[in-house]
Amino acid sequence: MVMNRILLREKIEEEPFEVAEKQKIGVTGMSRGAGTSFAAITLAKALSLDKTKRVTYLEICGANFSNKPLIYDVLGMDKRFEGREFIRFYEEIKQGREIRRRRNLDERINWALMAPEDLKKAVKLAPLEIVRLVSNISGDIIVCDIGDCDQKEEFLKDMDAILFVIDPMPSMLLAGFSSLQDAKRLEYRGKNVVWVLNKMNAGVNKRELQDFIKVKNTIQFPYIEPEKRYAAEYNCKIPYELREIKAQLLEPMKKICQHIMIT
């Protein structure tokens, strides 16, 4: 049934409807120990220097999170948030609470991390809960540190760009070959993948490395001397804050930001 109605309305200039969408950057590694968290933290810190952007570092932990150091401890969050509340986003999501507009702001970064209390209570998020966390966390740019977890490839599909971190040690390359193939498939399907060769040093046979990974347009992170990394952690600093480390990573970070089209 159709009614023969007449629509009468004043002429109105239509304004373009735009929604400010967050940009999600997934950082993942070819193998465990490739330096995924180091790359993700460095990226978040570099992006936070732009005062027009609100940056969030989101740690996505899988079932084996108890086997790796907590970023909470690496960066000394107990010292950074001494005397103020540290919001346990994992617990908040698990309890079904609202997390919009809630932040753990320090050094212009909102830190959404697995906390020691979460580890103690074995708080584990199901894939749908992780999706809710990513979708509702505050920030213009969400840097997602994606470790070994269920449905990892599905999370990466939802990212606007992916940093894929590769350790050039032969044993690490062999161990992570299937992850490399997964990342190549995502790139083939149109995903923006930035290939990062981490820990590059004079001992790496670049020809053999390239023959194995068969990836063009890589960005290289030099091997950072252990004493600099240790000094950063003992002083509860983000490595990129140290002058010597920033000098080594400044140009690679500029290239990464260009590739992921941060504007």
Output the DSSP codes for 32-56.
TTSSHHHHHHHHHHHHHTSTT--EE
pLDDT for residue 98? 94
What average pLDDT does the segment 90-94 reach? 95
Lowest mean pLDDT among 4-13, 30-39, 74-83, 154-163: 4-13
pLDDT for residue 19? 47
Q: What is the second-level CATH architecture of the domain 23-259? A: 3-Layer(aba) Sandwich (3.40)
Residue 136 has pLDDT above 90, yes or no: yes
Identify which of 2-16, 119-133, 154-168 has the greatest average pLDDT: 154-168
pLDDT for residue 213? 97
What average pLDDT does the segment 199-225 reach? 96
> Using CA atoms, how far apart are residues 167 and 140, in angstroms rounded to an integer?
29
pLDDT for residue 17? 46
> Using CA atoms, how far apart are residues 65 and 63, in angstroms rounded to an integer?
6
Q: Which helix (H) or strand (E) holds 25?
A: strand 23-29
Residue 263 has pLDDT above 60, yes or no: no
Nearest to 195 by CA among 241, 242, 121, 252: 252
Residue 18 has pLDDT above 50, yes or no: no
Residue 148 has pLDDT above 80, yes or no: no
> Using CA atoms, how far apart are residues 90 and 233, in angstroms rounded to an integer?
24
> Using CA atoms, how far apart are residues 186 and 73, in angstroms rounded to an integer?
33
pLDDT for residue 127? 87
DSSP structural state of residue 145: E
pTM for the structure as a whole: 0.89
Are 144 and 26 in contact by the 8 Å Cβ rule? The answer is yes
Q: Where are the domains of the chain?
A: 23-259
Residue 95, classed as helix, strand or coil, is: coil
Residue 15 has pLDDT above 60, yes or no: no
Lowest mean pLDDT among 121-135, 165-179, 214-228: 121-135
Residue 234 has pLDDT above 70, yes or no: yes
Q: Which ranges of 49-151 does DSSP label H, i.e. alpha helix?
A: 71-74, 77-80, 89-94, 116-120, 127-136
